[in-house]
Structures are given as structure tokens and as C-alpha cells.
Structure 1
């Protein structure tokens, strides 16, 4: 990589893979927020419901780690979704001070509707890239994630 004599970073710094990932994630998140808002849901709610669906019984701390957010953020989201009747806490079978998180029927219904919206966004991307390039991009992003985890 070439260092730019005029500044602290290389001239092509904004053309890096990491910036492309950031721009893409930002665009996708903004579209999710826009399209989920009419459902009374934020993208963070969708992510939390999806993660609990995929791993029922997670604790708040485990959920925070998997979503890469603070435990306080998870606690706030959990409380909000619990108030909506979409999430419930159940006692852990072995640890009396630990509570597991589970979707309620209302949570499953909300997730189903929200996931249809997110699937439309996925389809928009696939339509633009074509199915083969979309599958290739998915594989490449998986490889990139693995490369970062290896360090």
C-alpha cells in the first residue's frame, strides 16, 4: 500500500474492502430501518428476534456478544420486546439467577412479517447482481469473515 505524502492515509484508503463493506452495511441497514418502520420495528429488533429464533434460550449476555452490542442495549431491547409480548424470559434450568430468552407466538409472528420485508431487500440485491454473483458474494463475505476471525 502506498502512503499519500499529503495525508495520514493512502490515497486509495476509501477504496478498500473494509470501506466497501461499511458502505454496503450502512445502505442495507438504512433500507431495513425504512421498510421495517411501518411495522413498528427497528432493524435492531429484527436482529434480536432473529438471533433468539436461531438460538432459543440465549441469555442477555450471550445475546449481546452475538449481536456485538452492549449488555445495556440488549437489556433495553429485551424489555421493549417483552412489553410488546414478543419475547419472554424463562428461568435457566441450572442457574437460578440466569434467565433465558425465548420468542413468544407474537414474537414469531412479528419475526415472520419482518423477515418477509428483509427477504425483499435480499431479492433486490439478488436481482441487481444476478443469482450467481449473489451466491458468490455471499461466499466471499463468509471467507472475509473467516479471515478476520483467524487474526
Structure 2
């Protein structure tokens, strides 16, 4: 719908929205990275868990779910799969015995590195394709989008 008239937006208007472009870019990114990651024995979802534990070791499953963008129920099978593979281990929190922290094992760190090599190669392709100036500008703009989303609230009748 167009905000002013309440009439449905045209296809061009819908596809021209930044939100639509971000979603198409996200889907395209998912499509191109999944196959090479699966060849390594991981997936985009497992990579997200691994890389977030690499960046911030000791997260709980609930914290990790928020960062990865899934529900606490959805994170459990991912973590369990990584624990079964020996890539992640659960450790009791130093002060709160009932809380389990998640940490990469040495094998998990190696597998994270292998998967991250694929993602770094993809990122290098984007940098080369866009050129360094546009790449940096896009990274800045995407960061600003993230920052400004917190200020948005839906229309009152939504």
C-alpha cells in the first residue's frame, strides 16, 4: 500500500524499496554460500553459530539464539549437532552452575576457520565486484540501516 493513498503499491514501487532489496540480497547470499559450506560439512545456520561463538565465546544458548536470529527452541538442535560433532562444548558457568556456556573446541575452531575461508572469499568477491569505495560505502550504509531500524515503529493501524 502506498502510505498517502492507501492504494496497493505497484510492483516497481514494491521492488524499489530498500527493504525489498535487502531481502533479495539476503536470499541471494544464502543461495550462493550454502553449497560450498555444505561441501565442508556445515551450513549457513551452523556457520552463524560457530562464528558467533568464535567472536564471543561463552554465550548461552539463549544469547546465541538472539544473535543468530532464531528462537531458543531452534538453536537447541543446531547446538546439539555441533556438540555431537565435537565442535562445541558446554561448560558450567563459573558462578551459576545451572547455566551452560558454549565454547568452540579446537576442532570447532578449525572448522570455523575452514568455513570462514569460504565466507571471506565471497566477501572478497563482493569487494572486487563493487570496488573498494562502493564496498565500504555499502558496509557503512548497511550499518546505518541497522542503527535506524531501532527508531521505527509500525503505523498505528498495523
- Pair in the same fold by TM > 0.5: yes
Equivalent residues of 1:4, 1:10 under 8 A apart: no
Give me the whole-angstrom Cα distance separating, in 2, the residues matched to 1:124 and 1:8.
41
Q: CA deviation at 1:13?
A: 1.3
Instruction: Provide the rounded CA distance (Å) in 2 between the counterparts of 1:94 and 1:3.
Output: 52
Once the two structures are TM-superposed, the CA of residue 79 in structure 1 deviates from its matched residue by 0.5
Q: Output one character per residue of 1:10-65: Cα deviation in whole Å (capped at 9) or x when no partner.
A: 11112100000000011111111011111011000110001111111100011111
TM-score (norm: length of structure 2):
0.89
Aligned pair 1:147/2:145, yes or no? no
- Number of residue pairs aligned between Structure 1 and Structure 2: 150
1:15–1:102 Cα change, 3 Å: same
Matched residue, 2:103: 102
Taking structure 1 as reference, are residues 82 and 8 closer, same or farther at Cα in structure 2, changes over 3 Å only? Answer: farther
Structure 1 equivalent of residue 85 of structure 2:
84
CA–CA separation in structure 1 for the residues paired with 2:50 and 2:35: 18
The alpha carbon displacement at 1:4 in A equals 10
Q: 1:75 to 1:8 in 2, by over 3 A?
A: farther
Q: Runs of at least 4 residues of structure 1 off by over 3 A?
A: 1-5
Shift of 1:150: 2.8
CA gap 1:3/1:150 in 2 versus in 1, 3 angstroms = closer
Indicate the SS of the match to 1:56. Answer: coil
SS in 1 for 2:97: coil
Unaligned runs of 5+ residues in structure 1 are none
**TM-score normalised by length of structure 1:** 0.93
Aligned pair 1:10/2:9, yes or no?
yes
Distance 1:8 1:105 in 2: 57
